[in-house]
Amino acid sequence: MSNKPFRIFIGFDPREYAAFAVAKESIRQFDRHVLINGVVLSDLQERGLYTRPTTMRLGKLWDERSGAYMSTEFANSRFLIPEIVRRQTMDWSPGGWALFMDCDVMTRVNLYQLRELLDDDKALMCVKHDHRPMGNIKMDGQVQTGYARKNWSSVMAINCDHDANRLLTLELVNSRPGLDLHQFCWLADEDIGELQPEWNWIPGVSDSAVVPKIVHWSEGGPWFDNFKNAPYADEWRAHLTRLAR
């Protein structure tokens, strides 16, 4: 178990506000005082941390560095988390571990169970999916892209104090193609630790026999009309109902 500070970040996209709200609520059901940070693109742009040229094409976000569409606003900004933590700590205290999750998740256990699994010798830990998407569309009509290490970065614990993560600079995040970042181009293979599948369980991708601790609706979640009957949708809607009271 790591004794380092443990921070939680969730990607924010205004198109999936309900998903973001439930993701937060699912964490706070176990600890009402846990601090959860949103990774908000407009905020990072205003602060000068995110400078990748981004435009709109056919109503979708287009990343000029990658020459590709972004399915969410936090597609690449998630990799700024070590820099965000460094600025929060002002370089005088340990950054510790930062857990990032896409907003289309639901936590079913106290995340301090995950903290107990973190290995301080690793720069990053994640579920090492072998995800080979069959179609080319996901969610609400977003482009589905296949690549090595797909979905590894959708739930990842980053050791902000690890020397290897010093290579994840503002310049690198803002200049490299998104695929390079999602495949952890700055890390050696041995620096990437493995979490068990229940920590990023994806319907239709993960083993159906696994009981998830984090459900991740990567293809589309119950807030989209086409996915209202997705696995664990009733549990998600129960959280949403409690938030509406």
The C-alpha R_g of the chain, in whole angstroms, comes to: 17
Query: Does residue 64 lie in a domain region?
Result: yes
Residue 86's H or E segment, with its range, is helix 81-89
Query: Does residue 79 lie in a domain region?
Result: yes
Which pLDDT band, with edges at 50, 70 and 90, does 128 fall under?
very high
| pLDDT at position 3 | 78
Model pTM score: 0.91
Query: Does residue 1 lie in a domain region?
Result: no
| pLDDT at position 58 | 87
| pLDDT at position 59 | 86
Q: Say how far apart CA 98 and CA 82 lie, in whole Å.
A: 8
Hey, what are 102's tokens? 């896409």
Give ∠ CA 125-107-111 in degrees, rounded to 5. 55
* Number of structural domains in the chain: 1
Which pLDDT band, with edges at 50, 70 and 90, does 244 fall under?
confident
Which pLDDT band, with edges at 50, 70 and 90, does 212 fall under?
very high
**CB count, 10 Å around CB of 68?**
16
- The answer on pLDDT for 137 being more than 60 is no
Structural domain for 154, as ranges: 6-244
Which pLDDT band, with edges at 50, 70 and 90, does 141 fall under?
very low
- Please give the C-alpha separations between residue 89 and each of 55, 83, 95, in angstroms, as whole numbers: 32, 10, 6
- The answer on pLDDT for 225 being more than 60 is yes
User: Can you tell me which residue has the tokens 């009271």?
Assistant: 245
Q: Three-state SS for 140?
A: coil
Please, where are the H alpha helices in 154-196?
Answer: 170-175, 178-182
What is the average per-residue pLDDT within 19-28? 97
Q: Say how far apart CA 236 and CA 215 lie, in whole Å.
A: 10
CATH number for the domain including 127? 3.90.550.10
Q: Say how far apart CA 228 and CA 8 lie, in whole Å.
A: 27
CB-CB contact of 88 with 122 (8 Å): no
CB-CB contact of 26 with 243 (8 Å): no
Give ∠ CA 46-125-90 in degrees, rounded to 5. 40
CB-CB contact of 170 with 82 (8 Å): no
Which pLDDT band, with edges at 50, 70 and 90, does 93 fall under?
low
- The answer on pLDDT for 74 being more than 50 is yes
